[in-house]
Amino acid sequence: MANHRVSHEPAYVLHRYDWSESSVILEAFTRHHGRIAVVAKGAKRPSSNFRPVLLPLQPLQLNYGGDAEIRTLKGAEWMGGHVMPTGESLLSGYYINELLLRLLARDDAHEALFDAYAGVVEVLASDHAGAQAATQAAALRAFELLLLREVGLLPALDTETLTLSPLLPDVRYTLLPEAGLREAADDETALAGADWQALQTALDDRAPFTDTLRCVAQLTGGSNAALRGQLRVLLNYHCGVSTLRTRQMMRDLQAL
């Protein structure tokens, strides 16, 4: 890897690890360089300029350099725009961060996915009540779909995966980790072919996050729950876990 310095790179902090008594290692998602690791030397000191800036779910610009797997952070600036999500919205933000950490390889740029991530974080940071909860849920489903497609784990949603036959609008189809889309049995969680086709059209749009969010929001209550369940199975399968840590944390808090 060539020794180079990157300046003014749009980024979000995904996770942080203690590295020494005064420093931390950050996992960051950048727009032009994908997921990277940087060491922020002295970031734990009370006087550090990094300390109030390097927060998750906040739009940043990073300056960093080095030729090792873990680069050295030279500067960080908060770009403003919204406050930190709180409550369940904060947990949802940690959830999408966990997905990125598990599914994205290092140093692999995904600019469209970065823009979708910025969009879902903005939705989660909104302080509107009531219907906003439904919008946030739709934003999470839209991001899950875009992430799976971006890393090559989502089949085409307008054809049966095995036969490549176009979906029939009124027939129910289920999405399975190893089989893709196929016609569903009566007792299987599924969506109508018309719903899957609409989602594929939204994903192919010039502004896929916005259109996919809108498409998910228009699903009926039962279809929305069916989509959530199928995506959860698919994500857990490809992440290699039965339940993601943040999902389990949400369940534990709701059980209190």
Q: Are 52 and 155 members of one domain? A: no
Q: Are 39 and 93 members of one domain? A: no
Domain final residue, candidates 78, 96, 113: 78
Which residues, 6 or more positions from 64, have their beta carbon under 8 angstroms from its beta carbon? 5, 6, 9, 36, 38, 71, 72, 73, 74
- Mean pLDDT, to the nearest integer, of 6-30? 96
Domain final residue, candidates 53, 78, 103: 78
Does 109 or 246 have the greater pLDDT score?
109
Q: pLDDT band at 248, cuts 50/70/90?
A: low
Q: Are 56 and 113 members of one domain? A: no
Q: Are 234 and 121 members of one domain? A: yes
Q: Are 114 and 222 members of one domain? A: yes
Q: Are 199 and 240 members of one domain? A: yes
Q: Are 62 and 97 members of one domain? A: no
Q: Are 236 and 144 members of one domain? A: yes
DSSP H stretches of helix in 126-220: 132-150, 193-203, 208-217
Q: At residue 1, does pLDDT exceed 50? A: no
Burial label, 74 (beta-carbon count in 10 A; 0-12, 13-18, 19+): middle
- Mean pLDDT, to the nearest integer, of 215-235? 93
Please report, for the domain that includes residue 196, its CATH number. 1.20.1440.120
Q: Are 151 and 175 members of one domain? A: yes
DSSP H stretches of helix in the chain: 87-103, 111-125, 132-150, 193-203, 208-217, 221-239, 245-254
Q: How far apart are CA 109 and CA 120, in angstroms?
A: 18
Res 121: pLDDT:
95
Q: Are 135 and 222 members of one domain? A: yes
Q: Are 117 and 236 members of one domain? A: yes
Residue span of the structural domain in which 194 resides: 87-254
First and final C-alpha spacing in the chain = 49
Q: At residue 80, does pLDDT exceed 60? A: yes
| Partners of 36 in beta bridges | 28
* % of residues, the chain, pLDDT over 70: 92
Rounded to the nearest integer, the mean pLDDT of the chain is: 91
φ and ψ at residue 95, rounded to 5 degrees: -65, -50
Please report, for the domain that includes residue 11, its CATH number. 2.40.50.140
What's the domain count of the chain? 2
Is 57 in contact with 121 (CB distance < 8 Å)? yes
Q: Are 237 and 141 members of one domain? A: yes
- Mean pLDDT, to the nearest integer, of 167-177? 97
Q: At residue 96, does pLDDT exceed 60? A: yes
Q: At residue 86, does pLDDT exceed 60? A: yes
